[in-house]
Chains A and B, each alone.
Chain A
Amino acid sequence: QSVLTQPPSASGTPGQRVTISCSGSRSNIGINNVHWYQQLPGTAPKLLIYKNDQRPSGVPDRFSGSKSGTSASLAISGLRSEDEAVYYCSTWEDNLSGLGVVFGGGTKLTVL
């Protein structure tokens, strides 16, 4: 059971816009930045979005992030076949049980 909740799957057709949600709580997303990763099969995760809506250099502007309250979203516009991957959100958890980075369970995106 992940601290951050993501839908297990999402899908879209080429050219479409897809959004992936990430739900948390006041002790994590509510007070900390959210980051997003893309993991292609058999490879290490790649940072897509950091600090809620910032793109590292080299990440296409088709990828965008947002945060509101205790939830965050990753949007992918102009969907391409190479976007088929698993996407993870993460943030810092700050509660009585301790501190640390927490991840969502991942959303497998299928490009139909």
Chain B
Amino acid sequence: QVQLQESGPGLVKASQTLSLTCTVSGASVNTGGYFWSWIRQHPGKGLEWIGYIDYTGTTSNTPSLKSRVTISTDTSKNQLSLQLTSVTAADTAVYYCARDHSRFGEFSGAFDLWGQGTLVTVSS
């Protein structure tokens, strides 16, 4: 059974870098053929896709955050990570890691497995 678990600081100061980790159990981040995404949800609001990294290490990010986002994997720990630079209060959100339904194929954008999410608050 594949499970995802986000972790990281719950509080980040404005202008600093937000760093989160998603530990994957039950599947390999780089040999399982999956696409792994980060998605966030502002308090009381809808969902916003941040980007993905696939099993080859190829990444794709949303245009609005592209210059501030880095998504990577640590194969030794079977984790994916998110770094978001120069954060502001607008980056306060629950951050989810999620797995794409597609495997060894084209990214589908249908996320069939989600972590529980972690709330990150940006303070001034």
On A, residues with C-beta under 8 Å from B are 2, 32-33, 35, 37, 43-47, 50-51, 56, 88, 90-92, 97-106
Contact = CB atoms under 8 A, between A and B. Distances in A.
A2 B46 contact: yes
Contacts of A37: 47, 111
Interface SS of A by simple majority: strand
Interface residues of B, number: 23
A47 B111 contact: yes
A102 B64 CA distance: 12
Interface string B30-72: 0000000100000000111101000000001111001000000
A89 to B, nearest CB: 10
Contact of A47 (B51, B60, B66, B110): B110
A46 B99 CA distance: 12
A90 B39 CA distance: 12
Contact of A103 (B46, B61, B117): B46
A50 to B, nearest CB: 4
B22 to A, nearest CB: 12
B9 interface: no
A104 B49 CA distance: 11
A56 B116 CA distance: 19
A37 B39 CA distance: 13
Given A44-B96, A50-B112, 18 more contacts: A32-B109, A33-B109, A35-B110, A44-B114, A45-B96, A47-B111, A50-B108, A50-B110, A88-B46, A90-B110, A91-B109, A98-B63, A100-B49, A100-B51, A100-B61, A100-B63, A103-B46, A103-B47
Contacts of A45: 47, 96, 111, 114
A105 B118 CA distance: 21
A45 B115 CA distance: 9
A69 B1 CA distance: 37
Contacts of B115: 44
